[in-house]
Structure 1
Amino acid sequence: MSDDKPAREPVEEDARIDALEKRLAAAQQREDQRNQPRGTGADANYRSGNRVLADLLGGILGGTVIGWTVDWFAGTSPWGLLVGLFLGIVVAFRNIIRAANKRPEE
């Protein structure tokens, strides 16, 4: 034992352990990618539904108020209200169709 060699040779790492570590790292990376929050989910659908509701109510109520105001100042009893209501409905449905045809962001 007077040699400068140690009594035992150091154990080299096994190639199987290296391969296992690489596979574990790849699996962890895939799991992290899968668990990232996405914009297209229940929250996005909820926001989309709220926007459709707001467009519909806003168009109808806005057209009604504007039509009633025109009737009040012009003295054209039901016609301004009816035209305003009709235009409000048209604008509301145009906005809803435009939102429905928009592609989701990825």
Structure 2
Amino acid sequence: MVEEGPGQDDGLPPDARLDRLEQRLAEAQQREAIRTGHKPASDASEQLGQKVLATLIGGLLGGGLIGWALDRLFGTWPVLFLTLLVLGTASGFWSIIKMSNAQTKKDR
């Protein structure tokens, strides 16, 4: 009785074997990329999501920090902090809206 080679299944149609080979090759490439420290490039949706998150956090932190510093400088504790925190949040959301509108126009 002759044994089959590794990973071969003659009961499958040829297309399924090729698909399985391509899948195993992609898995091997991912393992190699992790081993060597090269990560696969992120797609456009992931990049847009990271940009949106950074914009929102930047608006919140920027407004809060500037408001806190000005309040300490002028001695008007919560007034400038809250005002600039709200303005930073609003500017963050405004930037996100502009990004989404630009992405929508780009997709058309």
TM-score, with length taken from structure 1: 0.58
Q: Which residue of structure 2 aligns with residue 81 of structure 1?
A: 81
1:26-41 equivalent positions in 2, closer than 5 A = none
- CA positional deviation for 1:104: 2.5
Q: Tell me how far apart the structure 2 counterparts of residues 96 and 105 of structure 1 sit (CA, whole Å).
A: 16
Structure (1 or 2) with the larger CA radius of gyration: 1
- CA positional deviation for 1:95: 0.3
Secondary structure in structure 1 of the residue aligned to 2:43: helix
Q: Tell me how far apart the structure 1 counterparts of residues 54 and 44 of structure 2 sit (CA, whole Å).
A: 15
Secondary structure in structure 2 of the residue aligned to 1:104: helix
- CA positional deviation for 1:82: 0.1
Any unmatched runs of 5+ in structure 1?
1-41
Q: Tell me how far apart the structure 1 counterparts of residues 47 and 107 of structure 2 sit (CA, whole Å).
A: 14
Cα deviations by residue, 1:53-85 (Å, 9 ceiling, x for unpaired): 000000000000000011010100111110110
Q: Which residue of structure 2 aligns with residue 29 of structure 1?
A: none
Q: Which has the higher contact order (CA 8 A, sep 6+)?
A: 1
Q: Which residue of structure 2 aligns with residue 90 of structure 1?
A: 90
Q: Which residue of structure 1 aligns with residue 43 of structure 2?
A: 43
Amino acid at match of 2:90: V
Q: Which residue of structure 2 aligns with residue 104 of structure 1?
A: 106
Any unmatched runs of 5+ in structure 2?
1-41
- CA positional deviation for 1:105: 6.6
The number of residues matched between the two structures is 65
Cα deviations by residue, 1:13-65 (Å, 9 ceiling, x for unpaired): xxxxxxxxxxxxxxxxxxxxxxxxxxxxx700000000000000000000000
